Amino acid sequence: MATVGILMGSDSDMPVMAKAMDQLEEFGIDYEVNVISAHREVDVFVDYAKTAEERGIKVIIAGAGGAAHLPGMCAAIFDLPVIGIPIHTKSVGGVDSLYSIVQMPSGIPVATVAIDGAKNAAILAAKILAVSDEELKAKLVKFKEDLKNQVQAKNEKLGEIGYKEYLKQM
């Protein structure tokens, strides 16, 4: 049974949203993924959000571009955490999406990550779920340690070969 619901308003959002799916898989978190338009399929969307919790969904990650109503509408219907991912847009670079998601009215919060920040959305979902899952919490601790080790390895390489050679290898 999936514990995270991943929604996107268009399949054009898939390349960004795939980063969340990849990260959830790395943590061993089950998820379901759907393309549902809050504007074009209102009835389908409302049914999804109203029944998500009874299907076992504990967190929804919703990506949206432009007017970006999908995350906010999820938060209005779904009683558990919603994480919004503003998707980069050609016209305004995703700032329109960011403002649309982050400017929710009082009482309807949406946790919001950076524009195209799907990986961070998955990590945040994992942290929310880890509150009641010690095994997942241990995976997050290891993940954080791995990040630290990656930075230290890069610093050591920089010290060994110098910045000019380092740049050539990037």
**Residue 116 is part of a domain; what is its CATH number?**
3.40.50.1970
Same domain, 108 and 163: no
- The position carrying tokens 């630290």 is 148
Which two structure tokens, joined as six digits, stand for 21?
Answer: 């799916």
pLDDT at 26 over 90: yes
**Which has the closest alpha carbon to 45: 17, 73, 20?**
73
Same domain, 34 and 111: yes
Same domain, 145 and 121: no
CA angle 57, 50, 2 (to 5 degrees): 15
Same domain, 62 and 41: yes
* Per-residue confidence (pLDDT) for residue 91, from 0 to 100: 87
Burial group, residue 26, by CB count within 10 angstroms (0-12, 13-18, 19+) = middle
Predicted confidence (pLDDT) per residue in 117-158, tens digit:
999 999 999 999 999 999 999 999 999 999 999 999 999 999
Residue 97 parent element (H or E): helix 95-102
Same domain, 79 and 56: yes
Average pLDDT across the chain, whole number: 96
Compute the distance between CA of residue 121 and CA of residue 110 in angstroms, rounded to an integer. Answer: 11
- The position carrying tokens 């380092």 is 166
Burial group, residue 85, by CB count within 10 angstroms (0-12, 13-18, 19+) = buried
Structural domain count, the chain: 2
Same domain, 122 and 162: no
Same domain, 123 and 62: yes
Full residue range of the structural domain in which residue 156 is found:
135-170
Compute the distance between CA of residue 90 and CA of residue 108 in angstroms, rounded to an integer. Answer: 28
* Per-residue confidence (pLDDT) for residue 130, from 0 to 100: 98
Confidence of residue 68 (pLDDT cuts 50, 70, 90): confident
Which two structure tokens, joined as six digits, stand for 72?
Answer: 């906010």
**Which has the closest alpha carbon to 115: 38, 41, 19, 34?**
19
Same domain, 84 and 166: no
